[in-house]
Amino acid sequence: MSNTSHGLTAQEILDQLESLGAESYKRVLLKHGVPEPCYGTKISDMQKIVKRVKKDYRLALELYDSGIYDAMYLAGLIADDIKMTKKDLKGWLSMAKCRMLVSWTVPWVAAGSLHGWELGLEWIESKKPDVAIAGWATLGSIVSVKPDDELDLKLLESLIDRIATEIHQQSDLVRYQMNAFLISVGSYVAPLTTKVLEAAKKIGKVTADLGDNDCKVPDITEYIVGKVKAKGLIGKKRKTAKC
């Protein structure tokens, strides 16, 4: 296992994550569909490791390859996105066995890579729900961080139209992610906010079975108008998709 400038090996980090694990938090994660092995390490505790490591491409790959949920999530936070190859990203997606990794970790890293747009568009065409979810989440992450002049607005318009037509025919979690994509475009891409709100009217209420937890499908119009527009934040980009 590699030893780098920050002096931490993958095994040392795995040991830290295990020692920081909390049974109560682990129960919450398992309820949200996270599979074993899982330590139950809180993200706030992971952030202390992130502060020390910052970015480390090799270490991120080693941690993700461990197959331990907490290490895989941490890998996404320390990944050097620009160095991630298409093969790396596809490999990560193939190993992602829960919603957090499929809709957060892999898309966040893909969005920061050189291949996010291409892979996002490829993944949304998949018949496999997890792959389609990762595709919509990747595209949603990209629009949240990239300046509008680096986005293909025409293509985004066509995706909005497509979702308005197809969303109710999709499986629960794909439907949820399409809904999230529309919220992302409507919130972060000011020239398309009106189009998204028009699509939301056409779509109506979006429902999805998200499992035995408190998660709900946010209402597109309520979210964009009530939360983002009300605070004057339409079009304000994020520094990073990761959190």
Say how far apart CA 221 and CA 205 lie, in whole Å.
10
Mean pLDDT of 187-191: 98
Average pLDDT, the chain: 95
SS3 22: coil
Residue-wise pLDDT for 48-75, tens only, equals: 999 999 999 999 999 999 999 999 999 9
SS3 31: helix
**Is the predicted pLDDT of residue 243 greater than 90, yes or no?**
no
**Is the predicted pLDDT of residue 1 greater than 60, yes or no?**
no
Residue-wise pLDDT for 122-166, tens only, equals: 999 999 999 999 999 999 999 999 999 999 999 999 999 999 999
Using CA atoms, how far residue 168 sits from 162, 171, 212, in Å, is 11, 8, 22
CB-side neighbour CA atoms (13 Å) of 227? 12
> What is the pLDDT confidence band of residue 175, given thresholds at 50, 70 and 90?
very high
Mean pLDDT of 83-96: 98
Using CA atoms, how far residue 144 sits from 23, 52, 220, 242, in Å, is 34, 26, 16, 11
> What is the pLDDT confidence band of residue 4, given thresholds at 50, 70 and 90?
low
> What is the pLDDT confidence band of residue 5, given thresholds at 50, 70 and 90?
low
| pTM assigned to the model | 0.94
Sign of CA dihedral 159, 104, 144, 216: positive
> What is the pLDDT confidence band of residue 2, given thresholds at 50, 70 and 90?
very low
**Is the predicted pLDDT of residue 3 greater than 60, yes or no?**
no
SS3 135: helix
**Is the predicted pLDDT of residue 172 greater than 90, yes or no?**
yes
